[in-house]
Structure 1
Amino acid sequence: MSEQKINILICDDHTIFRTGMKNIVRKLPVTDHIYEASNGNEAIAVAETNKVDLILLDIEMPYLNGVETAKYFKKNHPEIRIIMISFHNDKELFLQLYKIGVEGYLVKNTSLEDLKRGIVHVLEGNQFFSAELGATVIHGLINEKLQAPKDPQELLSEREVEILLLICQQLTTDEIAAQLFISPLTVKRHRQNLLDKTNSKNIVGLILYAIRNDLLDAATIK
């Protein structure tokens, strides 16, 4: 992770939860300022008057809920990364948030280590979603057998398919580079080509593409 300091906004209507999150994120070496908000309106006000790099955003809040707040930020401040925090392991809600473009989705009963790992992954430019949710979404989509309009073997090169499958296994850029004996820069270039060719907004879009085109099965997902 880059050593550049970042500012984190914790948005949740429960004071105890915000306090707990503060105690976690302040221990991250990249954390600079930590801001708090109890609803979406307050979060917007904070971000309009302060530089915010990452938002830990609750879904169920009064006045302006997490979904609407995420929509606002992705439309008006797309540079701000968002990790949604929820009690619900809900496929439909996740897919709605995926379409909005959030970078992470964690359930509130996730382990402390997974929470830290999720924050680090998102700050590194990756995406991170609760393992339980990932299994729910991916297995559900596999069972639905969604069809794609193009043959992926015609659209993607052999190397691109190889990298796509490693991305689906949640390997980082550096891990893929090491496994394939190529540079991280080459991996990033292939990943951008994958995003462009599949019309995907982010890594989750690539996973959905792989599922729709039968490039992987449930056993492939870690």
Structure 2
Amino acid sequence: MYKLAITDDHEIFLRGLEKLLAAASDLEVAGSFVDGHSLLRSLPDLSIDVLLLDIQLPDFHPEELLMEIRKLRSELPILYLTMFRGTRILRRLEKHQIQGYILKDAAIEELKQAIERVARGESYFSPEIYLEEVGPGPNTVTTPQNKLPELLSPREYEILKMVCQEYSSSEIGEKLFLSKGTVDTHRRNILVKLGVNNTVGMVKFALQNGILHEED
């Protein structure tokens, strides 16, 4: 019997996944969390073999959360569950000794096998991750124009352009009638989706993809 915890900010998905995994005879869901802070509060006292972790949470950049988890449980096996294909994000997370990476559209049997392998001390990286690389190579943030609508939502695309025009989160919020916290969440999500570390990386992406030269 392997015990696991799940963290995902989409509650309907989270509860559904709990039920699917709880039906497996050799898996026990010992905890579920909707954000990084609630996970970190419970993690020291949580008896689990695997942490199933969504890569995109509203309160932490993925690398920041991973570093906090490693401070509390340095050897805890982590299996990322994500919608993002391509290896840019994966390469960054591998530096922190993650054990697995699987897509959210995987079959439930594949997910169970991945959990069991990671719990046994092995690794599991879905082959699908490598089949749809975004951009021509690992050392560039250039993305084909026809991929941009798939990569960013219309709101994220709008915020990316405003960030590159040197608007602060507060100023963006005022113009788009959003709270500063909501804008900051969008900015974190943009960083994750583009596979960049900071605002400079976002600007570089915009320049290389002609976003700054578009007419509104």
The reply to whether TM is greater than 0.5 is yes
Partner of 2:166: none
Count of paired positions: 137
2:29, 2:16 → 1: CA distance? 16
The residue number in structure 1 matching 2:15 is 19
The 2-side partners of 1:103 and 1:117 are apart by 13
Does residue 115 (structure 1) correspond to residue 111 (structure 2)? The answer is: yes
Q: Aligned in 2, Cα 1:74/1:28: closer, same or farther, shift over 3 Å?
A: farther
TM-superposition CA deviations, 1:1-41 (whole Å, max 9, x none): xxxx4331110001111112212321333334520111111
TM-score by length of 2: 0.57
- Partner AA of 1:50 in structure 2: L
**Offset of 1:87 from its aligned partner?**
0.9
Write the distance in 2 (CA, Å) between the matches of 1:98 and 1:22: 26
- 8 A Cα contact 1:26 1:34, kept in partner: no
Does the residue aligned with 1:60 lie in a helix, a strand or coil? Answer: coil
Tell me if 1:42 matches 2:16: no
Return the letter of the residue paired with 2:37: N
Deviations 1:138-181 (A, max 9, x none): xx88x99xxxxxxxxxxxxxxxxxxxxxxxxxxxxxxxxxxxxx
Cα-to-partner distance string for 1:101-154 (whole Å, 9 max, x where unaligned): 1111011111222111111111121100111114567xx88x99xxxxxxxxxx
The DSSP-based 3-state class of the residue aligned with 1:100 is coil
Partner SS for 1:19: helix
Cα distance in 2 for partners of 1:62, 1:56 equals 16
Give, in whole Å, the separation in 2 of the partners of 1:134 and 1:12.
23
2:87 aligned partner: 91
Structure 2 residue matching 1:95: 3-state secondary structure: helix
- Which residues of structure 1 form unaligned runs of 5+? 145-222
Where 2:75 maps in the other structure, the secondary structure is coil
Residue type of the partner of 2:30? I
- % identical aligned pairs: 23
1:73 corresponds in structure 2 to 69
Mapped partners of 1:66, 1:129: distance in 2:
17
C-alpha separation between the residues in 1 aligned to 2:63 and 2:55? Answer: 6
Q: Among 30, 43, 68, which residue is 2:26 paired with?
A: 30
1:13 is paired with a residue of what secondary structure?
Answer: coil
Corresponding residue of 1:60: 56
Q: CA deviation at 1:72?
A: 1.8
Instruction: Structure 2: give runs of 5+ residues left out of the alignment.
Output: 140-216
1:6 to 2, 5, 29: 2
Aligned mates of 2:124, 2:90 — CA distance in 1: 12
Alignment check: 8 A CA contact 1:70 1:82 kept: no
Q: What one-letter code is carried by the residue in structure 2 that aligns with 1:106?
A: I
Please give the alpha-carbon distance, in whole angstroms, between the structure 1 residues aligned to 2:105 and 2:98. Answer: 20
